[in-house]
Amino acid sequence: MSKASLSPEQAQRMMVRELSAACGCDPRTVKKFLGGGRVIDSLALSLATKARELGFAQNDQTPAQASA
């Protein structure tokens, strides 16, 4: 099933799953931010923190590229 053929509810569920998996957040937390129509600043901060922990530089280089 392509993303274009998803209903809005299915698309939101997929987005919640993907975002929660990406940042290690509880899906209920992600859904709370999405459902409230709020800017997802804390989720973005969580993703940025996780990226730094994994060694990614801010210019989207892989850890190997960043150290080379």
The Cα–Cα gap between 58 and 29 comes to: 25
Q: Do the Cβ atoms of 29 and 47 come closer than 8 Å?
A: no
pLDDT tens track for 8-33: 778 778 888 888 888 788 888 877 77
The Cα–Cα gap between 2 and 50 comes to: 29
37 phi, psi to nearest 5 deg: 70, 20
User: What DSSP state is assigned to residue 58?
Assistant: T
> What pLDDT score was predicted for residue 59?
54
